[in-house]
Amino acid sequence: MFSIVGIIILFVMVFGGFAITGGALGPVMEAIPHELLIILGAAAGATVTGNSMFELKGIGGGFAKVFKGPKHNKQDHIDAIVLVSKLMKTLRSDGPVALESHVTEPGTSPIFAEYPRLLANKPLISLICDTLTLIVVSSGTLEVHAVEEVMDNAMKTTFHEMAEPQHALQNLADALPALGIVAAVLGIVKTMGSIDKPPSVLGGMIGSALVGTFMGVLLAYGVVAPMAGRLKQVIDQDEMIFHAVKQVVIASLHGWPQPLVVEGARSGLGHAFRPGLSELLDAMRGK
């Protein structure tokens, strides 16, 4: 929502300020569609050239994330800590056999069924289930640091894939000023082909060409780069739930007391999603 408001403010202030200071919007508005056709067309071509279909779909999802915000809310982070704590309690009290059916088929597990929003996050569920399945099949003989390393590797891969759309957007922002210059140069070439025209006509053609440079810079630093920055913020926030899950698993394997386990997971969350300790302990008790 704020991203949309910001873009509206940007265009109102830029074009409004230009008009208030005596600038004629007519010629600018007339030139913008033609310049944007070149700039955005070239940007689309470059983006398709530099990315696979997987990354292109991710870029589309990245735009959606900019406007929708983080995937999970505060309650989801509480639920993730509670869910993994329940699974670790099952492992500790009932043994690997009792846990196996839950982590091998989470879709039919009554424990996972309590948290449908988390089930929709397939990378998160894979991290939980793959890690606990590894513990189950190893009958608890794995060293904790080995489990932690496996989880770190899985999270690193997931985070890398999550960050690809942000990198693509940033690359696009870096390229747009140059693509604006391309549009401007083509406009100048067109102008030079009409050098015999009256000065008033040539002035309009040169002005139209300069609109290409203007739009390239405006889109780069006023729209796409801020969107890439916002997307990075969203991705960083989406990563927190993975760290909370890892903290519960590793702390539980170390044998920490339950309050210390949940506090370790809670304290690693950002303030926007961090519940109070009492609130989290109440959720653990089912209140």
Does position 287 have pLDDT exceeding 60, yes or no? no
Q: How many other CB atoms are there within 10 angstroms of residue 212's CB atom? A: 26
pLDDT in tens, 145-178: 999 999 999 999 999 999 999 999 999 999 999 9
pLDDT in tens, 6-63: 999 999 999 999 999 888 888 888 888 989 999 999 999 999 998 888 888 888 888 8
pLDDT in tens, 225-280: 999 999 999 999 999 999 999 999 999 999 999 889 999 999 999 888 899 988 88
Domain count, the chain: 1
Dihedral of alpha carbons 173, 174, 177, 179, sign: negative
Residue 196 lies in a domain: yes
Residue 9 lies in a domain: no
How far is the first Cα of the chain from the last one, in angstroms, to the nearest whole number?
33
Residue 6 lies in a domain: no
Angstrom distances, CA of residue 276 to CA of 9, 77, 88, 248, 272: 36, 12, 22, 16, 11
Residue 180 lies in a domain: yes
Which range of residues forms the domain containing residue 183? 28-287
Does position 188 have pLDDT exceeding 90, yes or no? no
CB contact at 8 A, 181 and 219 = no
- Distance, in Å, from the CA atom of 206 to the CA atom of 204, rounded to the nearest integer, reads 5
pTM: 0.87
What backbone phi and psi angles, to 5 degrees, belong to 143? Answer: -75, 145
Amino acid at 120: A
Residue 85 lies in a domain: yes
Residue 117 lies in a domain: yes
pLDDT in tens, 83-119: 999 999 999 888 888 899 999 999 899 999 999 999 9
pLDDT score at 95:
87
Q: Taking CA 262 as the corner, what is the angle to CA 244 and CA 237, rounded to the nearest 5 degrees?
A: 25
Higher pLDDT among residues 287 and 193, named by residue? 193
Q: Taking CA 96 as the corner, what is the angle to CA 94 and CA 98, rounded to the nearest 5 degrees?
A: 55
Higher pLDDT among residues 72 and 194, named by residue? 72
Q: For the chain, where are the E strands, in sequence order?
A: none
Q: How many other CB atoms are there within 10 angstroms of residue 101's CB atom? A: 14
Does position 199 have pLDDT exceeding 80, yes or no? no
Residue 16 lies in a domain: no
What backbone phi and psi angles, to 5 degrees, belong to 228? Answer: -65, -40
Does position 213 have pLDDT exceeding 80, yes or no? yes
